[in-house]
Structure 1
C-alpha cells in the first residue's frame, strides 16, 4: 500500500485518538488544513510538516515516508520519562527567545547545584 505524508499524519492522529481540530490547534495549523489535505485540495508545506512532526514528536523523515522509525532517535527517546518528553516537546515548540530563556533557567539551576554541592561533584 502506498503511504504519503497526509496518510502518515492521519495514522498518527488516529493512533492517539485525536480529532483533526486537536492536531491543527496543537501543531499551530490553519483551520481545516487536515481536511483540505485529505481531499487533495492542497499539500502540507515544509513549515507545516515540521510543525506536525514536532507536535507528534516524530521525525520529518517519518512523516515524509523516508523512514519507518518514528522518532529517528533510536533508544534515546525510549529512555526518557514522560516529563522529559513533555519538556522536549515544549522546548521544540518554543520561540527562539523562549528557547534562550529555557536554556538560561537550566544553566542557572546547574550553576546553583554546582555551588551548593560542588564538593560532591569534585569528589565523585
Structure 2
C-alpha cells in the first residue's frame, strides 16, 4: 500500500526515483524497494516524505485517503469528541451527530460558493456565542443558587448578541436583494 502511495506522489511531482531519493536522503535503489513494497522507509524518512509532499503520515500509510495533515487532525479531534459525547451517556447522541453533520454541510456550502465566508463566520460566531452562553449560565448557576439580576443581565446581553448575529446572517444572505441588485 505504501509503495503505491509513494509512486503516485512521486509521479505527481514529475520526479525520478533518483531525484526523490536525493531529496529524502536515500538511494534510488532504496526508493525503488519502497515503491515495490520490498522494504519500508524508516520513521525519519516517512516524516521527510510526508513533509515534502505535504501529506499526513496516515495518508502515506494508507490509514486514510485524506492528504492534508490538518484535516486528518481535525477528523481525529471530531471523532474523539463524538466518542466522548457517546461515553457520557447523556440523552440522545444523535443530536450531536446532527449538529456535526449540519456544520459539515455549512462548510460544504461555503466550499461550493453557495454561502459567503462572512455568512459562515457569522454562523460559527453565533454557535460559539451560544456555547459560551451555556457555559456562563452553568457558572452563574453554581455561583448564584437562584435567578438573580446578574443572571438576567447575562441572558439579555447574550440574547441580544445572538439576535444581532442572526440578523447579520440574514442581511448578508440577502444583501444583493437589499441592495436592489436582483
Given the two structures, how large is their TM-score scaled by the length of structure 2? 0.36
- Paired residues, number: 71
Task: Write the deviation string for residues 34-54 of structure 1: whole angstroms up to 9, x where unpaired.
Answer: 112234442222222112111
For residues 36 and 54 of structure 1, do their structure 2 counterparts lie closer, same or farther at Cα, with a shift above 3 Å needed? same
Q: Which residue of 1 aligns with 2:123?
A: none
Give the conservation status (yes or no) of the 8 Å contact 2:50–2:57: yes
The 5 Å alignment of 1:25-64 reads 25-64=22-61
Q: Which residue of 2 aligns with 1:94?
A: none
Give the conservation status (yes or no) of the 8 Å contact 1:59–1:72: yes
Structure having the higher Rg: 2
Q: Where do 5+ consecutive residues of structure 1 fail to align?
A: 75-124
Q: Quick one: distance in 1 between partners of 2:37 and 2:2?
A: 12
Given the two structures, how large is their TM-score scaled by the length of structure 1? 0.50
Coordinate RMSD, CA, aligned: 1.7
Q: Which residue of 2 aligns with 1:95?
A: none
Task: Write the deviation string for residues 68-91 of structure 1: whole angstroms up to 9, x where unpaired.
Answer: 1112224xxxxxxxxxxxxxxxxx
Q: Quick one: distance in 2 between partners of 1:31 and 1:17?
A: 15
1:12 paired residue among 9, 14, 28: 9
For residues 16 and 64 of structure 1, do their structure 2 counterparts lie closer, same or farther at Cα, with a shift above 3 Å needed? same
Q: Which residue of 1 aligns with 2:21?
A: 24
For residues 16 and 45 of structure 1, do their structure 2 counterparts lie closer, same or farther at Cα, with a shift above 3 Å needed? same
* Structure 1: 4+ residue segments shifted above 4 A: none
- Quote the offset at 1:20 in angstroms: 0.7
Q: Where do 5+ consecutive residues of structure 2 fail to align?
A: 72-182
Give the conservation status (yes or no) of the 8 Å contact 1:27–1:54: no
Higher helix content, 1 or 2 = 2
